[in-house]
């Protein structure tokens, strides 16, 4: 393969969102380390560039709007010696073999370049499932968006997506979609959810529905999208009674159901976690390939952006240790796995000395999990072999939201290191 240019750095960061930018800023505190950042968009900042409020509390110590948060990180990283490449799409990761360097193939406006490096941080984020991936039947008219594409049209291009919109989903991001539609001058016909319980905080959902004046239909699914050139409406079906009814709208917004943007690890030796669909990592954020790390929403789908930024920072600590002495020496590693209706546990590998590795707090990322659906009055338990090593009662677990697993509170004296640790729901009372 012919490259227009070959460059060599210590660390290559893939992704210019909160995790990637925070990692570059942290690495710049250490002189003598050459860092290159590759971002496929024309601007840095990631998803927050087109979002609303509540960004930056954990990592920057104050609340920003999405655009201001993105600009703040942009300004900070541009003050560093980081070699920044925008409109630069990484097309392939080539893990090191036999003492060679890791390599990235990057498509840029100048042509294809190769970047060779000692360490890679994958921070490519996540994306929402589209109408096609949700297998929603019906025609293919104009007027169908994800939250991300909606926010780009409304907040970045200052356009009006339509006159009346239907929101599919009831996650946190669904409320953000409602605010974006209202700001753009689009009325909301309804919000619909397949689940009986909303997948966000009930009070927040009630406030948004009251302020913007739209109904919420729970326990329904879309049976058809009507319209040829443009959306004209949807046919909904009650899951319990099979009763059908139609709602008129010219715009549909598919929200939530995030999954990691982890295509770069496909067809490589970097191991993918079948539950999270992102790269499998240990507590140092290192993947199955020594020197290749991953942080942020590429690990599990959507989470708060300040948590992603903190993960980017935390990953740099381990990257620096790797640059100094090679692969960190972990004395014992034990795997952790979540059982349905939990979606995943991330990281998937814990360092065996347990309680000394991470202390759960507001400003530490830690081990986390999510549930597939909102649940009330349940208990989470951790088991190793036949031993229960931790449990906690919850009045409510919100679907697709971070549940912190305080591994430092596990009874590590009862852990069987020849077995995996299993996280499960003790009682299921939806």
pLDDT of residue 225: 93
Q: What is the pLDDT of residue 17?
A: 97
Q: What is the mean pLDDT of the chain?
A: 91
Give the pLDDT mean for 260-287: 96
pLDDT value of position 132: 82
pLDDT in tens, 22-33: 999 999 998 889
Q: Measured between alpha carbons, how far is 273 from 420 in angstroms, rounded to an integer?
A: 15
Q: Which of 69, 396, 379 is nearest to 205 (CA)?
A: 396
Parallel, antiparallel, or unpaired for β 258-260 and 251-254?
unpaired
The answer to whether residue 59 scores a pLDDT higher than 50 is yes
∠ CA 199-205-211, nearest 5°, is 160
Distance between CA 274 and CA 158 in Å, rounded?
Answer: 39
pLDDT tens by residue, 226-259 = 999 999 999 999 999 999 999 999 999 999 989 9
Q: Check pLDDT > 50 for residue 429.
A: no
Distance CA 406, CA 367 (A): 7
Q: Residue 198: is its pLDDT beyond 80?
A: yes
**Residue 148, H or E segment:** helix 147-151
pLDDT at 135 over 70: yes
pLDDT over threshold 80, residue 428: no
């Amino acid at each position: 393969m012919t490259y227009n240019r070959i460059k060599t750095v210590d660390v290559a960061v893939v992704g210019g969102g909160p995790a990637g930018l925070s990692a570059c800023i942290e690495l710049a505190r250490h002189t003598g380390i050459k860092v290159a950042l590759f971002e496929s968009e024309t601007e840095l900042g990631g998803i927050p560039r087109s979002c609303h409020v509540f960004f930056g509390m954990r990592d920057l110590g104050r609340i920003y709007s999405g655009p201001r948060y993105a600009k703040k990180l942009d300004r900070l990283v541009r003050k560093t010696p980081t070699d920044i490449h925008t409109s630069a799409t990484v097309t392939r990761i080539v893990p090191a073999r036999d003492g060679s360097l890791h390599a990235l193939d990057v498509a840029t406006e100048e042509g294809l370049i190769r970047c060779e490096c000692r360490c890679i941080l994958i921070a490519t984020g996540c994306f929402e499932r589209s109408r096609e991936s949700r297998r929603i039947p019906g025609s293919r008219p104009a007027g169908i968006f994800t939250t991300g594409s909606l926010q780009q049209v409304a907040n970045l291009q200052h356009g009006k997506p339509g006159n009346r919109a239907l929101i599919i989903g009831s996650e946190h991001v669904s409320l953000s979609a409602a605010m974006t539609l209202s700001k753009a001058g689009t009325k909301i016909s309804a919000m619909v959810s397949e689940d009986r319980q909303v997948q966000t905080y009930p009070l927040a959902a009630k406030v948004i529905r009251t302020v913007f004046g739209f109904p919420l239909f729970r326990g329904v699914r879309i049976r058809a999208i009507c319209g040829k050139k443009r959306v004209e409406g949807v046919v909904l079906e009650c899951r319990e009674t099979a009763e059908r009814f139609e709602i008129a709208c010219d715009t549909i917004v598919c929200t939530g159901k995030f999954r990691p943007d982890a295509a770069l690890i496909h067809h490589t030796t970097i191991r993918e976690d079948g539950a999270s669909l992102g790269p499998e990592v240990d507590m140092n954020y290192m993947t199955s390939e020594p020197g290749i790390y991953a942080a942020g929403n590429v690990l599990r789908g959507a989470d708060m952006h300040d948590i992603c930024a903190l993960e980017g920072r935390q990953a740099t600590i381990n990257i620096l240790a790797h640059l100094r002495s090679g692969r960190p020496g972990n004395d014992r590693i034990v795997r952790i796995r979540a059982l349905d209706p939990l979606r995943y546990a991330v990281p998937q590998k814990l360092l065996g000395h347990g309680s000394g590795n991470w202390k759960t707090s507001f400003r530490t990322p830690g081990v986390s999990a999510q549930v597939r659906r909102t649940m009330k009055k349940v208990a989470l338990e951790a088991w190793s072999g036949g031993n229960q090593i931790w449990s906690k009662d919850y009045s409510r677990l919100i679907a697709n939201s971070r549940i912190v697993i305080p591994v430092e509170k596990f009874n590590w004296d009862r852990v069987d290191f020849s077995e995996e640790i299993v996280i499960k729901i003790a009682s299921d009372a939806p």
